[in-house]
């Protein structure tokens, strides 16, 4: 078998603890490390002029191949059709769709072709290509048009919409035909994805005495910790989660000053209107709830709008008594599995601890 070639919209940045937290990065990077291969995609950079070449970086058995996008491509392919049309449709939020029947779709297809043209010269005959998520639905079709004959798989990370929902996407028929352009034989199935419990336990142990974790422990005192980690996305049910926690402390007075809720929500897609709106909603709700129930020595909700590395999150999971995961509609969400893995490691390796 040849190399595994992972293709995603954006290549996750790699740090000492591995890729940043998130379904794609956590779920597939370990598989790529085991097989060896290449991770190809957008670097995250938005450029004024077209990039000259692909940037290649070696990290052990994995080659990271990244390239920037010019502003027009970013606006039409990523911010436009991917995030303002496909993402709300696939999450059944038709009220959030931004329709631009021509420019968004043309930009989306154009960038998929352009990315395929950049990848094709890097491929070897035995490579297996693994394409990820709704940003790259036409990518296989673009590779086939270039004469690429390698085996191609497509992994959708989010719910596939019902037919009546899919009909709201402009040119939905062409889109689905492009998604099925893998060759003469096509197999579709649900493929659950998991985590590596031993690795998560090791990450937690490595950072359990870190500064961030010590601050949380010092400020908790006798209280229980409820923790959530989510991208700042309207599909995650974050506003509803804040209101549910408010109901808990409203109707069960003994929970007041006895439980703290920590919500970590890293920024994402901040230039898309719907994501700016959800941030403003969360800031308003957390301020309102804290203003209503906070005491001099207790803040009910700690809402943190920033990214933390995986070792820090794993160590925080070790301190949490409850992991709260409440998406309204979601696909590849691994946070609950990571927390359960850490909980299991506590029971197995630290039986004296109150888990």
Residues 197-219 have a mean pLDDT of: 83
Residues 182-197 have a mean pLDDT of: 79
Residue that is written with structure tokens 């820090």 in the block? 312
Q: With contact defined as beta carbons under 8 Å apart, do 332 and 158 qualify?
A: yes
User: What's the pLDDT at 96?
Assistant: 87
**Between these two residues, 29 and 13, which has the higher pLDDT value?**
29
Helices (H) and strands (E) in the chain, counts: 13, 12
**Between these two residues, 76 and 209, which has the higher pLDDT value?**
76
Q: Residue 100 and residue 79: Cα distance in Å, rounded?
A: 12
User: What's the pLDDT at 10?
Assistant: 87
Q: With contact defined as beta carbons under 8 Å apart, do 14 and 307 qualify?
A: no
Q: With contact defined as beta carbons under 8 Å apart, do 130 and 29 qualify?
A: no
Residues 22-33 have a mean pLDDT of: 71
Q: Which two structure tokens, joined as six digits, stand for 217?
A: 């422990």
* pLDDT class of 337 with cuts at 50, 70, 90: confident
Residue 351 pLDDT more than 50? no
pLDDT tens readout for residues 147-183: 999 999 999 988 889 999 999 888 899 999 998 887 6
Residue 5 pLDDT more than 80? yes
Q: Which residues are catalytic?
A: 157, 330
Q: What is the mean pLDDT of the chain?
A: 87
Residue 261 pLDDT more than 90? yes
Q: With contact defined as beta carbons under 8 Å apart, do 107 and 80 qualify?
A: yes
pLDDT tens readout for residues 118-154: 999 999 999 999 999 999 999 999 999 999 999 999 9
| H-only helix segments in the chain | 23-35, 71-73, 87-90, 103-119, 139-145, 163-166, 172-179, 197-207, 211-220, 238-251, 273-293, 310-319, 335-349
Q: Which domains does the chain have, with CATH numbers?
A: 4-179 (3.40.50.2000), 197-349 (3.40.50.2000)
Residue 213 pLDDT more than 50? yes
Q: Residue 288 and residue 304: Cα distance in Å, rounded?
A: 16
Residue that is written with structure tokens 């995030």 in the block? 83
Going by their DSSP bridges, the two strands 4-10 and 128-132 should be labelled as parallel
Residue 186 pLDDT more than 60? yes
Q: With contact defined as beta carbons under 8 Å apart, do 274 and 87 qualify?
A: no
């Amino acid at each position: 078998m040849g190399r595994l070639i992972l293709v995603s919209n954006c290549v996750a940045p790699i740090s000492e603890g591995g890729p940043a937290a998130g379904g794609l990065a956590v779920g597939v990077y370990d598989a790529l490390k085991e097989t060896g291969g290449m991770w190809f995609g957008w670097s995250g950079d938005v450029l004024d002029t077209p990039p000259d070449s692909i940037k290649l970086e070696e990290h052990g058995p994995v080659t990271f191949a990244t390239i920037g996008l010019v502003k027009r491509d970013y606006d039409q392919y990523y911010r436009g059709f991917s995030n303002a049309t496909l993402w709300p449709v696939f999450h059944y939020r038709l009220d959030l769709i931004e329709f631009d029947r021509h420019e968004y779709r043309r930009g989306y297809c154009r960038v998929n072709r352009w990315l395929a043209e950049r990848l094709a010269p890097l491929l070897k005959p035995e490579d297996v290509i693994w394409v990820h998520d709704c940003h790259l639905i036409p990518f296989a079709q673009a590779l086939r048009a270039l004469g690429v004959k390698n085996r191609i798989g497509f992994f959708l990370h989010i719910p596939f919409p019902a037919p009546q929902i899919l009909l709201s996407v402009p040119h939905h028929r062409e889109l689905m035909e492009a998604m099925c352009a893998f060759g003469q034989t096509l197999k579709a199935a649900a493929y659950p994805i998991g985590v590596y419990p031993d690795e998560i336990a090791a990450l937690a142990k490595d950072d359990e005495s870190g500064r961030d974790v010590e601050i949380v422990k010092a400020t908790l005192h006798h209280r229980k910790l409820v923790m959530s980690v989510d991208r700042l996305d309207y599909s995650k049910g974050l506003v509803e989660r804040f209101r549910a926690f408010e109901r808990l402390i409203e109707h069960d007075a003994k929970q007041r000053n006895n439980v703290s809720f920590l919500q970590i929500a890293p920024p994402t897609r901040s230039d898309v209107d719907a994501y700016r709106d959800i941030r403003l909603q969360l800031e308003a709700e957390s301020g309102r709830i804290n203003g209503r129930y906070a005491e001099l020595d207790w803040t009910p909700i700690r809402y943190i709008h920033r990214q933390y590395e995986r070792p820090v999150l794993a160590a925080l999971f070790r301190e949490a008594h409850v992991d709260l995961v409440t998406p309204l509609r979601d696909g590849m969400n691994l946070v609950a599995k990571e927390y359960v893995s850490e909980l299991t490691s506590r029971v197995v390796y630290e039986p004296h601890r109150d888990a």
